């Protein structure tokens, strides 16, 4: 689907676990709202239909590879049809924490046929921009996990893949593989890559500058100090 | 991921398909008894039975949360769990797996709901191809009579009420089942479904099934002994 028929903007924040996606979405949301834009924020496993079911299925650790991908796809389609599309039709800026790319990356590191997963997500809308918060190395992610105080998560460590002796070894290997897949998708889908190893403040200011080029600032001209930034310079990527 | 038609397992997979009220579950239960009595290891798996997905489906049906696409994907999730948990392991171990409803149920219902025919087939391409799939074909009015007379209240999604064909559940059910039957008929040549005339007596249908199934088992027994 092409985004042209909707007056809103679909902006995706992607990245591996622990790179600060939710922090940046919260900051962007406040900033956009202060400038008069209506914002919907959504994210993986937050659907009314399947969010709870996915969380419950994950606690049991008996979720199979294929079942997991389809559960994510169910969650995605529910949020697409019931949240994202209605908001985009009404002219909202939709900020989404992860999109089809995370789902495709998780499938790929689990050895799932990429043609299959892509055919399922063929119904997704092409976003106006995908910002990929890129961390330099999995070691930096480890530091963030330690700083968070919550420890290593079973699924974020890819424990279902039996990649290492324990959560730590598995986490490093799993996140290394995820980074590789993301780097490749970044070229394929034209992600806008932001170095997430920097301070929150500098990442946030980069994000604002780029998002400002996308959102429609017409009607707010008198409030905008620099009218050049109102050019709707769409960063459309191709999802198929 | 191994796709449809590519799996090679020592076990055998037999599935029954058909509209509601076609009598397929009765036939499968009789088959199950027979195969057990013959000494085969038999496993049974039915539609909508994943322990991981069950609560989500029940809640969504009660609260009418589904669109055609999410209905399709959640049922595919349920089916994937059955495949990974209940179907592939026993087939690998050489058992007989009997499935009450299979991917063809999804193809018929989801397409009748308006999903794209090829998209639904792509979603389910991870499924194991059955050794034989029996389609219990009953004339539409017979099937409808069996369901409507057995149950005073038709369920919302079962009657296709989400599609707004009609405000009357019985009328909607008839229209929806008609579309489902059309899809089944289309799948007979596409997937080589074995058509069983479900308007005949239970005993005759069972005799025919046992005859057809024993052909698949004989070959296996010869190899083993």
**Residue B33 touches chain A, beta carbons under 8 Å:** no
Q: For the domain covering A3-230, report its CATH number.
A: 3.40.50.300
Find the residue in A nearest to B52 (Cα): A57
Q: Which runs of consecutive H residues, i.e. helices, occur in chain A?
A: 21-34, 51-60, 65-79, 85-89, 100-109, 114-120, 138-148, 167-189, 200-214
Which residues of chain A approach chain B closer than 8 Å at the C-beta? 48-50, 52-53, 56-57, 60, 62-67, 69-71, 73-74, 77-78, 81-82, 111-113, 116, 119-120, 122-123
Please state, in angstroms and rounded to a whole number, the distance separating the CA atoms of residues A171 and B100: 40
Tell me if B84 and A49 make a contact (CB, 8 A cut-off). Answer: no
**Residue B5 touches chain A, beta carbons under 8 Å:** no
Query: What residues of chain B lie within 8 A of the CB of A120, using their CB?
Result: 73, 122-123
pLDDT in tens, B29-44: 999 999 999 999 999 9
In sequence order, the 6+-apart residues with CB closer than 8 A to the CB of A142 are A168, A171, A172
Percent of chain B with pLDDT over 90: 80
Tell me if A67 and B122 make a contact (CB, 8 A cut-off). Answer: no
Residue B29, CA distances (Å) to B25, B46, B82, B209 in order: 6, 11, 19, 12
Reading chain A (240 residues) residue by residue, the pLDDT tens digits are 555 678 999 999 999 888 999 999 999 999 999 999 999 999 999 999 999 999 999 988 789 999 999 999 999 999 999 999 999 999 999 999 999 999 999 999 999 999 999 999 998 999 999 999 999 899 999 998 888 888 899 999 999 998 988 999 999 999 999 999 999 999 999 999 999 999 999 999 999 999 999 997 654 444 444 433 333 333 233 333
Please state, in angstroms and rounded to a whole number, the distance separating the CA atoms of residues A118 and A99: 13
Please state, in angstroms and rounded to a whole number, the distance separating the CA atoms of residues A214 and A230: 8
Which residues of B, range 43-82, sit inside 8 Å of A by Cβ? 50, 52-53, 55-56, 60, 65-67, 69-70, 73-74, 76-77, 80-81
Over residues B125-147, the mean pLDDT reads 91
Say what the pLDDT of residue B223 is. Answer: 46
Tell me if A116 and B74 make a contact (CB, 8 A cut-off). Answer: no
Strand pairing partners for B193?
none
Say what the pLDDT of residue A221 is. Answer: 44
Mean of pLDDT over chain A: 88
Task: Inform me whether the pLDDT recorded for B70 exceeds 70.
Answer: yes
3-state secondary structure of B33: helix
> What is the complex's ipTM, to 2 decimals?
0.88
Please state, in angstroms and rounded to a whole number, the distance separating the CA atoms of residues B134 and B98: 11
- pTM over the 0.90 mark: no
Domain positions in chain A = 3-230
Q: Which domains does chain B have, with CATH numbers?
A: 12-224 (3.40.50.300)
Query: What residues of chain B lie within 8 A of the CB of A50, using their CB?
Result: 56, 70, 74, 77
Please state, in angstroms and rounded to a whole number, the distance separating the CA atoms of residues B26 and B20: 12
Distance from CA of B123 to the nearest CA of A (A): 6
Distance from CA of B5 to the nearest CA of A (A): 15
Strand pairing partners for B45?
B99
């Amino acid at each position: 689907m092409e985004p042209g028929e909707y007056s809103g903007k679909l902006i995706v924040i992607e990245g591996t676990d622990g790179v600060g996606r939710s922090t940046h979405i919260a900051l962007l949301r406040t900033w956009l709202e202060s400038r008069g834009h209506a914002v919907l924020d959504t994210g993986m496993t937050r659907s009314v239909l399947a969010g709870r079911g996915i969380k419950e299925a994950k606690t049991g650790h008996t979720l199979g590879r294929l079942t997991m991908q389809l559960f994510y796809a169910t969650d995605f389609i529910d949020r697409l049809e019931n949240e994202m599309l209605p908001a985009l039709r009404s002219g909202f800026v939709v900020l989404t924490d992860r999109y089809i790319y995370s789902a495709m990356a998780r499938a790929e590191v689990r050895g799932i046929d990429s043609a299959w997963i892509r055919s399922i997500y063929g119904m997704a809308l092409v976003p106006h921009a995908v910002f990929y918060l890129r961390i330099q190395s999995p070691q930096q992610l480890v530091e963030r996990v330690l700083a968070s105080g919550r420890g290593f998560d079973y699924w974020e460590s890819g424990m279902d893949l039996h990649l290492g002796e324990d959560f730590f070894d598995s986490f490093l290997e799993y996140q290394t593989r995820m980074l590789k897949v993301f780097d490749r998708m970044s070229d394929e889908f034209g992600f806008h890559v932001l170095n997430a190893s920097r301070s929150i403040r500098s990442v946030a200011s980069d994000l604002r500058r780029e998002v400002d080029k996308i959102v429609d600032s017409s009607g707010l001209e008198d409030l905008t100090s620099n009218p050049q930034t109102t050019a709707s310079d769409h960063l459309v990527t191709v999802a198929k | 991921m191994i796709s449809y038609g590519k799996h090679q397992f020592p076990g055998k997979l037999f599935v029954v398909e058909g509209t509601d009220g076609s009598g397929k579950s009765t036939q499968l239960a009789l088959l199950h008894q027979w195969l057990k009595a013959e000494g085969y290891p038999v496993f049974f798996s039915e539609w909508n039975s994943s322990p991981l997905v069950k609560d989500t489906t029940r809640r969504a049906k009660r609260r009418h949360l589904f669109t055609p696409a999410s209905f399709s994907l959640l049922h595919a999730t349920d089916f994937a769990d059955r495949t990974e948990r209940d179907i592939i392991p026993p087939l690998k171990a050489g058992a007989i797996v009997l499935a009450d409803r299979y991917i063809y149920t999804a193809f018929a219902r989801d397409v009748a709901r308006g999903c794209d025919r090829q998209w639904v087939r792509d979603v389910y391409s991870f499924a194991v191809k059955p050794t034989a799939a029996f389609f219990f074909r009953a004339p539409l009015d017979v099937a409808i009579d069996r369901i409507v007379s057995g149950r005073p209240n038709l369920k919302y999604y079962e009657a296709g009420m989400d599609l707004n064909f009609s405000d009357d559940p019985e009328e909607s059910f008839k229209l929806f089942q008609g579309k489902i039957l059309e899809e089944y008929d289309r799948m007979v040549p596409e997937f080589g479904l074995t058509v069983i005339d479900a308007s005949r007596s239970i005993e005759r249908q069972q005799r025919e099934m046992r005859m057809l199934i024993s052909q698949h088992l004989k070959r296996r027994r010869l190899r083993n002994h």
